[in-house]
Amino acid sequence: MIRFDQVTKQFADGTEALKNVSLTIPTGKLTVIIGPSGCGKTTLMKMINHLEAPTSGEVLIDELSIKDRDDVELRRSIGYVIQRIGLFPHMTIARNASIVPKLKGWSEEKTQTRIRELMNIVGLDPDTYLERFPLELSGGQQQRIGVVRALAGDPNIMLMDEPFSALDPISREQLQDELLSLQKRINKTIVFVTHDMDEALKIADHIIVLRAGEVEQIGSSNDLIHEPKNDFVRNFIGQDRINRKRTFGKRKIRELSSYFLQSKISEQIVTVNSTENVEVAITLLDQPHTDVLAVYTNDELVGYITQSAILNAVVAKEEGAPSHD
């Protein structure tokens, strides 16, 4: 577990990159840090391997402050993948990938076994690629080798700083899929910085949304889609993206306001709060002799909803019609 305890980072020019940040990054999960340019994403991530030191507060790994650990040993225990990849061009892929295991004193046999295993996992035949040089590989292949090198020393934590942003869309999507598949096998604590919201929503178990050095919201992809904490988070995700990704039954009853009907009212009316999920309305309307729900917001009647209204909304969503949010 990685924990930030009231961390502030102020640079020499007075820029306050992080402001009293407290959060926990769960073990064995893929956590994405996202936010606008200059919000402190990379600074937050670099504090984990002590490439940046807090001005105040503490960063702890398994409840041990990183300031009490040797920086060299700390960094050898944490994998690091960056956008520019950083492979040494004069070294073969085998030598690039074996750097950390050798620094850790692994035997040649153990090192090669580990590297060949990882090469197979990322879809690169070791017999074909290990003796090649980085410039003989495509950008996507080089980034796969970057992942192999980061994992070669079997770290518990891997940091990934916008690793796929320089790749073409097809390679980027392939690597996202491969990362998800890889994480299912290795269950590492991965901290992934990106500026791409679609990427974050696709790969993350856990998302941290930053703005101007402060945490706006922390949660799963579903949390952000179904319950954006404020207008900043909602606008940063984008209402169109929210509409596309929401599970219909999890949407709020108030979002069907354009379907409220105030005619054909029978005596069988049940009341419901407009902030309830649509699946609550579906359950209530499935009860015998209940064909209309009276919808209230703060004790004020705002309209009515029926099974046909919900059906119309489902059809509209399936056909790609406007969602009337």
The CA–CA distances, whole Å, from 106 to 20, 75, 102, 150, 238 equal 40, 16, 5, 15, 48
pLDDT digits (tens, 9 = 90+) for 240-285: 888 777 665 555 555 554 444 444 445 567 888 877 777 777 777 7
Average pLDDT, the chain: 85
Q: Does residue 63 sit in the same domain as residue 106?
A: yes
Whether 324 is covered by a domain: the verdict is: no
Better pLDDT: 134 or 291: 134
pLDDT digits (tens, 9 = 90+) for 187-216: 999 999 999 999 999 999 999 999 999 999
Query: Containing domain of residue 280, as a range?
Result: 251-319
Band the pLDDT of 303: cuts 50, 70, 90: confident
CA distance 96 to 265: 73
Q: Does residue 225 sit in the same domain as residue 255?
A: no
Whether 61 is covered by a domain: the verdict is: yes
Band the pLDDT of 288: cuts 50, 70, 90: confident
Q: Does residue 257 sit in the same domain as residue 231?
A: no
Q: Which residue's structure tokens are 């046999």?
A: 109
Whether 153 is covered by a domain: the verdict is: yes
> pTM of the entire structure?
0.74
User: What angle (nearest 5°) sits at the alpha carbon of residue 277, between those of residues 273 and 278?
Assistant: 100
- Lowest average pLDDT, out of 73-77, 81-85, 284-288, 318-322, goes to 318-322
What pLDDT is stored for residue 54 in this prediction? 95
What pLDDT is stored for residue 316 in this prediction? 54
Task: Tell me which amino acid residue 281 is.
Answer: A
Interhelix angle 278-285/307-318, nearest 10 degrees: 140
Band the pLDDT of 160: cuts 50, 70, 90: very high
What pLDDT is stored for residue 170 in this prediction? 87
Better pLDDT: 178 or 293: 178
What pLDDT is stored for residue 255 in this prediction? 56
Q: Does residue 278 sit in the same domain as residue 142?
A: no
Q: Does residue 67 sit in the same domain as residue 116?
A: yes
Better pLDDT: 234 or 268: 234
DSSP letters for 89-123: TTS-HHHHHTHHHHHTT--HHHHHHHHHHHHHHTT
CA distance 141 to 115: 15
Whether 246 is covered by a domain: the verdict is: no
What pLDDT is stored for residue 166 in this prediction? 78
CATH number of the domain enclosing 111 = 3.40.50.300
Final residue before a domain boundary, out of 181, 210, 237:
237
Q: Does residue 84 sit in the same domain as residue 126?
A: yes
Q: For residue 20, what is the DSSP state?
A: E
Band the pLDDT of 90: cuts 50, 70, 90: very high
DSSP letters for 29-42: SEEEEE-STTSSHH
Reply yes or no on whether the pLDDT at 172 is more than 80: yes
CATH number of the domain enclosing 293 = 3.90.1280
CA dihedral sign of residues 187, 191, 193, 194? positive
Final residue before a domain boundary, out of 237, 262, 290:
237
Reply yes or no on whether the pLDDT at 310 is more than 50: yes
Q: Does residue 29 sit in the same domain as residue 135?
A: yes
Q: Does residue 209 sit in the same domain as residue 66?
A: yes
Instruction: Name the H helices within the chain.
Output: 41-46, 71-76, 93-97, 99-103, 108-121, 126-129, 139-152, 169-186, 197-203, 221-226, 231-237, 239-245, 278-285, 307-318
Q: How many domains does the chain have?
A: 2
Q: Does residue 90 sit in the same domain as residue 205?
A: yes
Final residue before a domain boundary, out of 210, 237, 264:
237
Q: How many helices and strands in the chain, by DSSP H and E?
A: 14, 13
Q: What mean pLDDT is predicted for residues 50-63? A: 95
CA distance 212 to 18: 7
Q: Does residue 37 sit in the same domain as residue 76?
A: yes
CA distance 25 to 2: 5
Q: Does residue 220 sit in the same domain as residue 257?
A: no
DSSP letters for 214-225: EEEEEE-HHHHH
Better pLDDT: 128 or 289: 128
Pairing mode, strands 2-10 and 16-25:
antiparallel
Q: Does residue 218 sit in the same domain as residue 256?
A: no
Cβ partners under 8 Å of residue 60, min gap 6: 2, 3, 5, 66
